[in-house]
Amino acid sequence: MNKQKLSIITLLVITFSMLGISSIQAQNIQDYAMCYGYGTTTLQPVGIGSTIFPYTEKIALWVQIQNPGDVNYRVIWLDPDDSQYRNTAVTVIEKAGDDWGIVFDSLNVAESTAKNKLGVWAVELYIDGELELRNEFQIIDLETIQEQIAEVIADKNDLIDDLDDLRLENTALEAQIGALEASYAALEAQVGTESDYEDLSDDYEALSADYAALKASQGSTKTMMYAAIVVALVAVIVAVYFGLLKK
């Protein structure tokens, strides 16, 4: 094989590979849903929901794909134990006059063993062997709903109990605050206020000034004795006031 033929073959291989890659990459999952079915003309999902009951007829995976190509599509259903329940090859249902189509596959529930497998299921879409989408749904029964409701009620009752405890604690705190306010008011009535202290200081300073002036102008023993008595009286008043402050 000469170099020219080898180059041509290599070029063809690369070209076909690129065409294959672009065919897969051109596909784009635009939307998906769990539903009951789809409209025959619109191809839009009908009965959308991801929670069903054992008596529900079926549930389906609906996937809208832009520019669907000539590739392999496969849908796999996994039960709550993550075991493969169903594996199906599917084809794209193309939207007439448009550039998109849908992949659709349904799972019978009420008339199959699936109704006995309660819990969270998974469904997967593979395109040419590659996992492109995984979605979950659940099958529940009346007993499960009742248990969930009972749990909600229990949580609510716990909250009510906690609220009652908080209200009792709040009442006790309010009583303590009231007692402290009363004690403070009584103490304030006993020791006087800051303004009382200021008035007493002013009086003391005024008497001291009068005494100094009297001492400077009068030198008799009688005057000195009178002034001493005045100062002693003021000292007694100040001592009594500060004694009350210390209580």
Average pLDDT over every residue of 99-124: 96
Per DSSP (E only), the strands in 109-237 are: 119-127, 130-139
Res. 84: pLDDT tops 90:
yes
- pLDDT tens-digit readout, 61-70: 999 999 998 8
Contact, 136 vs 121, CB < 8 A? yes
Of 24, 33, 99, 104, the C-alpha closest to 66 is 99
Rg (the chain; Cα; Å): 47
Query: Quick one: DSSP state of residue 113?
Result: G
Q: What is the pLDDT of residue 196?
A: 64
Local confidence band at 20 (pLDDT 50, 70, 90 cut-offs): very low
Rounded-to-integer distance, Cα 175 and Cα 197, Å = 32
Res. 120: pLDDT tops 70:
yes
Q: What is the pLDDT of residue 198?
A: 72
By mean pLDDT, which of 148-157, 174-183, 238-247 is the weakest? 238-247
The torsion angles phi and psi of 218, rounded to 5 degrees, stand at -120, 135
Contact, 110 vs 54, CB < 8 A? yes
Local confidence band at 6 (pLDDT 50, 70, 90 cut-offs): very low
By mean pLDDT, which of 19-33, 85-99, 162-176 is the weakest? 19-33
Contact, 103 vs 75, CB < 8 A? yes
Of 59, 66, 85, 49, the C-alpha closest to 132 is 66
How is the chain split into domains, by residue range? 27-140, 147-245
Rounded-to-integer distance, Cα 84 and Cα 117, Å = 13
CATH of 27-140, one of 1.20.1090.10, 3.40.50.1370, 3.40.50.1820, 2.60.40.1930: 2.60.40.1930
Longest dimension (CA), the chain: 148
By mean pLDDT, which of 9-18, 84-93, 147-156, 184-193 is the weakest? 9-18
By mean pLDDT, which of 28-32, 148-152, 186-190 is the weakest? 186-190
First to last CA, the chain: 117
CA distances from 73 to 45, 104, 197 (A): 19, 10, 95
Higher-confidence residue of 193 and 151: namely 151
Burial of 204 (C-beta count, 10 Å sphere; 0-12/13-18/19+)? middle
Q: What is the pLDDT of residue 74?
A: 98
Among 68-82, 172-186, 196-210, the range with the most confident prediction by mean pLDDT is 68-82
Specify the pTM: 0.54
Q: What is the pLDDT of residue 55?
A: 94
By mean pLDDT, which of 14-18, 89-93, 233-237 is the weakest? 14-18
Q: What is the pLDDT of residue 144?
A: 76
- pLDDT tens-digit readout, 27-69: 689 999 999 999 999 999 999 999 999 999 999 999 999 999 8
Res. 231: pLDDT tops 70:
no
* Residue whose token pair is 């009752």: 157
Res. 181: pLDDT tops 60:
yes
Average pLDDT over every residue of 143-164: 86
Rounded-to-integer distance, Cα 185 and Cα 208, Å = 33
Residue type, 135: N
